[in-house]
Structure 1
Amino acid sequence: MSRTRSVAGSGQGIHRRSVLAATGAVALSGGVGYALRPSDSQAATAEETTQAVAASSRQAPAAPLAPYTKGTTVASVATARAGSGYRRLGDGPGWQRVVRSELAAPKSGRAGRRTALAAFVQLTDLHIIDAQHPLRLEYLRSADVHAWRPHEALTVQGAIALVERINALRGAPVTGAPLHFAMTTGDNTDNNAKSELEWFLKVMSGGRITPNTGDPRRYEGVQNSGLKLYWQPDAALRDTDKQAGFPRLDGFLKAAIREVQSPGLNLPWYSTVGNHDSLPMGCYASHRDSYLTDLAVGGRKLMDVPAAQAKQLQTLIKKARDPQGVRYHDFLKSHARAMRSVTPDERRAPFTTAEYLQAHLDPAFRGVGPVGHGYSSANLDAGTQYYAFRISDDVIGISLDTTDAGGHYEGSVGSAQLRWLDRTLRENKDSYAVVFSHHTSRTMTNTRPDPARPHERRRTGQEVLALLGSHPNVLAWVNGHIHKNVIIPHSAPDGRSFWEISTASHVDFPQLARVVELADNKDGTISLFTTLVESSAPHRTDFSDLSQTGLASLYRELSLNAPGASTTLGGNPEDRNTELVLKKG
């Protein structure tokens, strides 16, 4: 019989440096010298507190704990049915678990010895989209079919279905331990718009959402533009997507902007920032450009440009030749006469770092907590978006800000943040550490100066890897950004090692989140278990069902069929459901 134990409610006898707030796991440091922030309104040091409880998680079931695989990709996976053209989805066989031993040899009998250290859910790249926003780059599709997705009006419905799935998980898939929290690792929004930020926070914390801006009575965007470049679901027009087999769905756009309800996550959730959250279009450092802000909230929208001009703009973005958005500004001005009229809306304005933090701290979006979802008033005062928090007696979490405010979609961290990371790991050397970020180690190559800190050196992913490899308590670096499942082993010359776990997005097929479990095998090794989960939406779609659930199901199937969509984002078997073995540091 397994000796796996619960980690919930295990707050007694914690080291003084590791005390927790009674409301749940809280920030250990906001990057400004605080050792602990038990609430948003006050700071305290560990020495000032002697008693605390562990992270608020679901009540542990009666022992012995049992693995819970219902609703995970161990049980079943949405799979394309046979045929050509537009492919329908159905129920497919689950994915097997792969044991990976690159960093340590697994020892027999470990399943009967192990104890659970922590269990959590990672969501990443939700890309909640205001599909009618005037600054969106849909028109790049004339040069690159990947530049616009036919399912982008349904991101809210799809994200709610993912929340519903997480809420239905009654325990971790391997250890059966209760889930401690959920972490969303960036690109929570798509276009740095206040409308998207509000919808994201309501999806996560619960509430009613009307995923519509502009005219409250109707959709105004590329999908009722009459342009063959885009799928026109309500029209008889033979657009390019219908030529590829996409259906005509009368009433689709009316249903897509109808009010929906999110239950909110039923466990604590934390937030990590991504480039699409911090930068307009995910790539421009242009918050101070009044022309672009006026366009964002105004009544004109560009929907169609010649392919050659679209290609030129896309090249500027990909090659980082316009990180400040100056040429993008000029591009839009040159196409002013081609813009179409839409209803103005102030909710489409870009948000600043301070507004992003304030929104997370807003009591209206607290849900089950914690206050600020990792961020604190100390972050707000310092203008930082990184923090640390305690997961359980034995484990801390560290959330990094890897977006380069100087522009471009690849990332880096500032020297001050890297020093803070080093200090946080040293001060918590008695605890295992899981590091969260948006960017991966390989996509942190952008070292443009931060306009707010022009003299501070930016640090690459390789420098972060070197730092993490110098701390034996680091178990994993969990991230997103690349929209693909990839798991990479990292080892240092002295034998220290950890795993980098990158998880696919929830906007591109196969639209996955990931459960991560940490367990001590009591034999000198640690096992990290990763298990992918889909949303609660049925795999099979019904074109006549335009309910909230039916649209969430359609969201997945449309993403499978998006022209040019990659077929490799699910990763290889060794990047999906795994057991990752490590030597204990």
Structure 2
Amino acid sequence: MSQMSRRRFVSGASAAGAGAALWPLLTPGSARARDRALAATAARAVRIGGTTLEQVATPSGDGAYKRLTAGPGRPLMVRAELARAASGRDDRRTGLASFVQFTDLHLTDTESPVRFEYLARLNDSAHRPQETLTVRGASSLVERVNAVRQGPYTGMPFSLVMATGDNTDNHERIELDWYLTVMSGGRITPNSGNPTRYEGVQNSGSAQYWNPESSLHDAYKAKGLPEIPGFLSGAIRPFDAPGLSLPWYTTVGNHDDSIEGSLPDLGLLNDLYTGSRKLEGCDDATAMQLADAVLHDPAQAVLLLSKLLAAGDAIRTVTPDERRHPFTPAEFAKAHLNPAYTGAGPAGHGFTADSVGSGHLYYTFDLADGVLGISLDTTNRAGFADGSLGTAQLNWLEGVLKAHSGRWYDTGGGVARGGSDSRLIVVFSHHTSKTMGNLLPDPYRPFEARHSGDELVTLLQRFPNVVAWVNGHTHTNRIVPHGHTVPERAFWEINTASHVDYPHHARIIEIADNQDGTLSLFTTLIESAAPYRTDFADTSDPGLAALYRELACNDPYATPATRIGTAADHNTELLITKPAR
């Protein structure tokens, strides 16, 4: 279905819509203001069930450990920085596209020898108490999308899901298998090494980690985390993932490309990945040295890690596993082409045989009738978490934009006629405009220049058909307007929080034509299908998925308050000038 008029579903909503627009003006925290905004939001929507418009996980309690409950939904905020919000648009609106963004799933092999759990107090992403449950949490998110099925404001069925990178945590083949199976459906055993037992830091007996099945009073239990008998055996138990019932695509992220998303993979640590020596601790001075090296000197970090694994004190012998071998970009693309992972399609999920041959992980696809999707590869194989674009990819992108730019585009020195295939354009990447400053030469293409996020913004603003840039990486909800003196050359950057750190959000994005010279982009957050309330005695699949969310909320080294974002970054209507065709 290429277009769907809202009038087929809802009538008489324009007055309620005007009420929702008042939400930013009402007193924050006021129950009356919230209730009025929620009522107006519900009246404007086709349906709100299963979204954070209906309800949202809310921490409760006075203790150190917060239990989650189903709190009131979050209302729609209308953002008109880039175009005027005209009255009556709800009655005129026609849906153009409806899709879902997953991002930063970080499916994690927690038993891998090449991990940095002992740096958690210095870098919260090095270890998370909930990370043994990433696979079940992601599968529960798939269940939510399969149940919701359509956009809340246009009523259009979702055309696809796009996962914007860091689908794996440490770019291991086994993590990639888990990701592809979660998305396509099938039997998963979220365990590596010994098939019958867990071999990782969470049963190490070390007080610096949460040992959930032990009465040991560790550092995490001191922060309120509970003892949960059967937690680890439940976490590694096989289960059947339903897989998405709609097509899905993949964008690559830095954790899909490098060691722990930070260190260049030059093949130096392959034997350590698949070997039997797992480092579970080091002294504070070495930890600080290694944490600094991971951020600023990848080569030194690799040397330090190798030395610690060769002669460290806290070495644990684990069962070797060849499935932990890191994958290359070509192998990443090739795995997507495996018929075992086709699921609801399409074959390759954006990647082709040419992707395998070239290692180029960027492509275009049909997002909806009249809407083109562009998936970029913003990773830099030189290491470090942040990214950039190589010149060849930037030139390719410019060519694609010219071909689909409609009536005109800015050449940089004037205006030229665009291509005959005029479509709206949504760009996808892992990195954001502000996290694309890593301009180190790619060691595999050392003579190619790299280009920053600011350069990419400038390029996108030359083409009036670009309406949005959708990304992840920061694990934070944030929506940024990129304005321009020519209204048609403005666009929205939509950054969504991860599904490994709380608040565990994914995002529904809808594009609608308001029939008044503007478009509306609706951005509605969703959570997984897991229950909000947890039961420490419940290690069933839904029970573990619920614990995954609650444990993330209670990670003592994380900062969930900063990642949630503001009301302007949650459920929004983003106005933008409609490009002339």
Query: Counterpart in 1 of 2:352?
Result: 376
Cα distance in 2 for residues equivalent to 1:425 and 1:176:
29
**Distance verdict in 2 for CA 1:537–1:452, change over 3 Å:** same
Which amino acid letter does the alignment assign opposite residue 4 of structure 1?
Answer: R
Pairing 1:488-499 to 2, within 5 Å after superposition: 488-495=480-487, 496-499=489-492
Cα distance in 1 for residues equivalent to 2:304 and 2:213:
32
Which amino acid letter does the alignment assign opposite residue 506 of structure 1?
Answer: H
Cα distance in 1 for residues equivalent to 2:132 and 2:59:
22
- Matching of residue 513 in structure 1 with residue 506 in structure 2: yes
Match of 2:161 among 179, 182, 193: 182
Query: Counterpart in 2 of 1:273?
Result: 252
SS of equivalent residue, structure 1 residue 261:
strand
Deviation at residue 143 of structure 1 after TM alignment: 4.2
- Matching of residue 130 in structure 1 with residue 130 in structure 2: no
Q: 1:4-49: per-residue Cα shift (whole Å, max 9, x none)? A: 389xxxxxxxxxxxxxxxxxxxxxxxxxxxxxxxxxxxxxxxxxxx
Query: Counterpart in 2 of 1:347?
Result: 323
Cα distance in 2 for residues equivalent to 1:553 and 1:427:
46
Cα distance in 2 for residues equivalent to 1:527 and 1:317:
41
Match of 1:3 among 2, 5, 18: 5
More displaced, 331-340 or 67-76?
A: 331-340
Q: 1:100-125: per-residue Cα shift (whole Å, max 9, x none)? A: 00000111111111111100000000
Pairing 1:83-482 to 2, within 5 Å after superposition: 83-141=62-120, 143-144=122-123, 147-289=126-268, 292-319=269-296, 321-322=297-298, 326-333=302-309, 335-429=311-405, 430-482=422-474
Cα RMSD (Å) of the superposition? 1.6
Whether the aligned pair in 2 keeps the contact of 1:68 and 1:169 (CA below 8 Å) is: no
Query: Counterpart in 2 of 1:554?
Result: 547
Which amino acid letter does the alignment assign opposite residue 97 of structure 1?
Answer: L
Deviation at residue 384 of structure 1 after TM alignment: 0.1
Cα distance in 2 for residues equivalent to 1:249 and 1:92:
25
**Distance verdict in 2 for CA 1:377–1:86, change over 3 Å:** same
Q: 1:346-388: per-residue Cα shift (whole Å, max 9, x none)? A: 1111111111011001000000100100011111122100000
Which amino acid letter does the alignment assign opposite residue 244 of structure 1?
Answer: K
SS of equivalent residue, structure 2 residue 202:
helix
Query: Counterpart in 2 of 1:19?
Result: none
Whether the aligned pair in 2 keeps the contact of 1:323 and 1:407 (CA below 8 Å) is: no
Q: 1:403-452: per-residue Cα shift (whole Å, max 9, x none)? A: 00111110000011111111101111210000000000000000111122
Cα distance in 2 for residues equivalent to 1:165 and 1:5:
26
**Distance verdict in 2 for CA 1:171–1:144, change over 3 Å:** closer
Unaligned runs of 5+ in 1: 7-64
Which amino acid letter does the alignment assign opposite residue 63 of structure 2?
Answer: S
Deviation at residue 170 of structure 1 after TM alignment: 3.2
Whether the aligned pair in 1 keeps the contact of 2:520 and 2:574 (CA below 8 Å) is: yes
- Matching of residue 581 in structure 1 with residue 578 in structure 2: no
- Matching of residue 571 in structure 1 with residue 565 in structure 2: yes
Cα distance in 2 for residues equivalent to 1:275 and 1:211:
22
Cα distance in 2 for residues equivalent to 1:506 and 1:169:
18
Q: 1:116-145: per-residue Cα shift (whole Å, max 9, x none)? A: 110000000000000111101101135455
Deviation at residue 206 of structure 1 after TM alignment: 0.2
Which amino acid letter does the alignment assign opposite residue 6 of structure 2?
Answer: T
Deviation at residue 337 of structure 1 after TM alignment: 5.0
SS of equivalent residue, structure 1 residue 91:
strand
**Distance verdict in 2 for CA 1:5–1:271, change over 3 Å:** farther
Cα distance in 2 for residues equivalent to 1:146 and 1:404:
19
SS of equivalent residue, structure 2 residue 120:
helix
Cα distance in 2 for residues equivalent to 1:457 and 1:399:
20
Query: Counterpart in 2 of 1:535?
Result: 528
Cα distance in 1 for residues equivalent to 2:188 and 2:362:
28
Count of residues in correspondence between the two structures:
523
SS of equivalent residue, structure 1 residue 374:
coil
Whether the aligned pair in 1 keeps the contact of 2:165 and 2:253 (CA below 8 Å) is: yes
Which amino acid letter does the alignment assign opposite residue 302 of structure 1?
Answer: L
**Distance verdict in 2 for CA 1:170–1:352, change over 3 Å:** closer
Whether the aligned pair in 2 keeps the contact of 1:142 and 1:305 (CA below 8 Å) is: no
Whether the aligned pair in 2 keeps the contact of 1:440 and 1:481 (CA below 8 Å) is: yes
Whether the aligned pair in 2 keeps the contact of 1:184 and 1:271 (CA below 8 Å) is: yes
Which amino acid letter does the alignment assign opposite residue 491 of structure 1?
Answer: G
Which amino acid letter does the alignment assign opposite residue 568 of structure 1?
Answer: T
Query: Counterpart in 2 of 1:11?
Result: none
Cα distance in 1 for residues equivalent to 2:124 and 2:522:
36
Whether the aligned pair in 1 keeps the contact of 2:278 and 2:309 (CA below 8 Å) is: no
Q: 1:241-266: per-residue Cα shift (whole Å, max 9, x none)? A: 11111111111111110001111000
Q: 1:475-527: per-residue Cα shift (whole Å, max 9, x none)? A: 00000000000000002333310000000000011100000000011100000
Whether the aligned pair in 1 keeps the contact of 2:265 and 2:381 (CA below 8 Å) is: no
SS of equivalent residue, structure 2 residue 213:
coil
Deviation at residue 85 of structure 1 after TM alignment: 0.9
Which amino acid letter does the alignment assign opposite residue 100 of structure 2?
Answer: V
Cα distance in 1 for residues equivalent to 2:373 and 2:55:
30
Unaligned runs of 5+ in 2: 9-43, 406-421
Cα distance in 1 for residues equivalent to 2:68 and 2:578:
42
Cα distance in 2 for residues equivalent to 1:416 and 1:145:
35
Whether the aligned pair in 2 keeps the contact of 1:123 and 1:513 (CA below 8 Å) is: yes
Cα distance in 1 for residues equivalent to 2:258 and 2:159:
31
Whether the aligned pair in 1 keeps the contact of 2:7 and 2:92 (CA below 8 Å) is: no
Deviation at residue 317 of structure 1 after TM alignment: 1.6
Cα distance in 2 for residues equivalent to 1:166 and 1:333:
42
Cα distance in 2 for residues equivalent to 1:457 and 1:492:
27
